[in-house]
Amino acid sequence: LSAMPRHKRGRSSPRSATVDVLPSPRTSSPTLPGGMDARRFLRDYWQKRPLLIRAACPGIHSLLNRADLFALARDATVESRLVLEQAGDYPWQVQHGPFSAAQLRRLPNTHWSLLVQGVNFHRPRAAALLEEFSVIPNWRVDDLMVSYAVDHGSVGPHLDSYDVFLLQAAGQRRWRISNRVYGESDLVPDLDLRILGNFKHSRTWLLKPGDMLYLPPGVAHHGIAVGESITCSIGFRAPSNTELLGAWLDSGNIEETRLNDPNLGLQSHSGEITAQQRRQLRRLIRSALPNDANLDRWLGRHLTNLPASVPPPALGPALTAPAFLARLKRGDLLVRTTPCRTAFFIAGNGRAHLFINGAEFELPARSVALATQVTGPGRVQWNPRNDATSRREGAVLFALHRAGLLRFQD
């Protein structure tokens, strides 16, 4: 999913672009960075209208600097793009990484940006930032894209079909958003990017480090760097039927079956597709889909798969099972390694299915608490009892440790 540049993906139905500006109330219930009550955000803004939150993440400036982003852009396992508004072979040229140090050094002083996708899969601190957004389900999270721009750098006015939090990390960026409804006919033809030709903004904000703008899908926007600027874009995904079906077909889980009709009788009209034949063909199509239980399990694996370009976590020095369990019993805390995508669900029989990076682990019904810890924000603490459930939990935690997915906190 994240292989395709988020701001180049298709568009969805436009939303109203009324905007609220959050003063900054703080509550003790789950909140968004900046303190808005999560229930209120989900009820009033999520997929509905933009929201500006000033000083949402005051500590964000230390997350990544230009040198870190350039280093990521030189790495072949990282997806990166340069958007050259003026300095390319044609306007708004997009070049794909990895880039050499010399290429990055040669860039002009204005009008370009470097977009680095999936930073959370490569930098633990970026993964930790995403945990601040855990009021949205893990599986809806696409990735953390970080853009570095010089003065006037921009990707042009455009629409995204995905929800996004645009968090200013360093420098300043001026965001313009529009309350107009735009469609395919508003796009400038033959460009590398889907740029809106007649973008007219209705609101403007200057975002400073720590400020954050939430945009629902379909709200046209244009962010222009004011001086050097680093912006984090926490992007979500909303799979479509065609994407999911395509992924299921590609998953190799289907045994191909073909129509057979040894009892084909003589038809009155050779042109007719008979009711029985239509039934048989419909059944053939539906036979490619598994039952609900197996479809759910595939969804868990599919939705937690890492992007294809991202290498799995390195296998660290694993402990033996007794040494591992002894440390857990002592109360030592486990942390997830990077890269990491997790989710779980409770099946109809009450058992918990835990998914990490596309791998599935089945846990007993009483292990839901463990699944919530492994997939939730923060660290994992395990208090074993002397029973079969705990033995299974210990075995799963050990398997995760051996696979390089969990390690003890230093």
Chain positions contacting ligand SIN, by CB under 6 A: 7, 113, 147, 155, 160, 164, 221, 223, 231, 233
- The interface partner of residue 231, options being ligand SIN, Co ion, none and the CB cut-off 5 to 8 Å by kind, is ligand SIN
Nearer to Co ion by Cβ, of 7 and 123: the residue is 7
Q: Using CA atoms, how far apart are residues 252 and 258, in angstroms rounded to an integer?
A: 16
Please name the residue ranges forming H helices in 210-346.
241-250, 275-286, 292-303, 321-329
- The interface partner of residue 147, options being ligand SIN, Co ion, none and the CB cut-off 5 to 8 Å by kind, is ligand SIN
- Minimum distance between the CB of residue 84 and ligand SIN, rounded to whole angstroms? 13
Contact between 165 and 214 under an 8 Å Cβ cutoff? The reply is yes
- Tokens (6 digits) for 222: 């244009």
Nearer to Co ion by Cβ, of 223 and 394: the residue is 223
- Minimum distance between the CB of residue 404 and ligand SIN, rounded to whole angstroms? 31
- Minimum distance between the CB of residue 239 and ligand SIN, rounded to whole angstroms? 19
329: Cβ contacts below 8 Å, ≥ 6 apart: 384
Q: Using CA atoms, how far apart are residues 339 and 84, in angstroms rounded to an integer?
A: 30
SS3 track for 377-398: CCCECCCCCCCHHHHHHHHHHH
For residue 362, the cross-strand partners are 353
Nearer to Co ion by Cβ, of 193 and 299: the residue is 193
**Residues that bind Co ion in the complex, under the rule CB under 5 A:** 7, 160
Nearer to ligand SIN by Cβ, of 147 and 390: the residue is 147
The set of long-range contacts for 279-283, using a CB threshold of 8 Å and a minimum separation of 24, is none
Nearer to Co ion by Cβ, of 154 and 304: the residue is 154
- Minimum distance between the CB of residue 368 and ligand SIN, rounded to whole angstroms? 36
CA atoms within 13 A on the CB side of 133: 29
- Minimum distance between the CB of residue 70 and ligand SIN, rounded to whole angstroms? 16
- Minimum distance between the CB of residue 155 and ligand SIN, rounded to whole angstroms? 5
Q: Using CA atoms, how far apart are residues 9 and 163, in angstroms rounded to an integer?
A: 12
Q: Dihedral of CA 283/284/288/290: which sign?
A: positive
**Residue 1, SS3 per DSSP:** coil
Nearer to ligand SIN by Cβ, of 164 and 334: the residue is 164
- The interface partner of residue 179, options being Co ion, ligand SIN, none and the CB cut-off 5 to 8 Å by kind, is none
Residue at 249: amino acid letter: L
- The interface partner of residue 223, options being Co ion, ligand SIN, none and the CB cut-off 5 to 8 Å by kind, is ligand SIN
In the sheet with 359-363, reading across from the earlier edge strand, the strands are 342-346, 352-356, 359-363
Q: Which residue is nearest to ligand SIN (CB)?
A: 147
- Minimum distance between the CB of residue 198 and Co ion, rounded to whole angstroms? 17
Single out the residue of 173, 165, 169 nearest to residue 58, CA to CA: 169
- Minimum distance between the CB of residue 11 and ligand SIN, rounded to whole angstroms? 13
Nearer to ligand SIN by Cβ, of 144 and 352: the residue is 144
- Minimum distance between the CB of residue 223 and ligand SIN, rounded to whole angstroms? 5
Per-residue DSSP letters for 308-355? TTSPPPP---PPPHHHHHHHHHTTPPEEE-SS--EEEEE-TTS-EEEE
Nearer to Co ion by Cβ, of 165 and 355: the residue is 165
Nearer to Co ion by Cβ, of 51 and 380: the residue is 51
Nearer to ligand SIN by Cβ, of 80 and 337: the residue is 80
- The interface partner of residue 371, options being Co ion, ligand SIN, none and the CB cut-off 5 to 8 Å by kind, is none
- Tokens (6 digits) for 179: 């309350």
How much is the CA Rg of the chain, to the nearest whole Å?
Answer: 24
236: Cβ contacts below 8 Å, ≥ 6 apart: 136, 140, 141, 142, 162, 163, 164
Q: Using CA atoms, how far apart are residues 259 and 84, in angstroms rounded to an integer?
A: 52
- Minimum distance between the CB of residue 238 and Co ion, rounded to whole angstroms? 15
- Tokens (6 digits) for 175: 């965001």
- The interface partner of residue 233, options being ligand SIN, Co ion, none and the CB cut-off 5 to 8 Å by kind, is ligand SIN
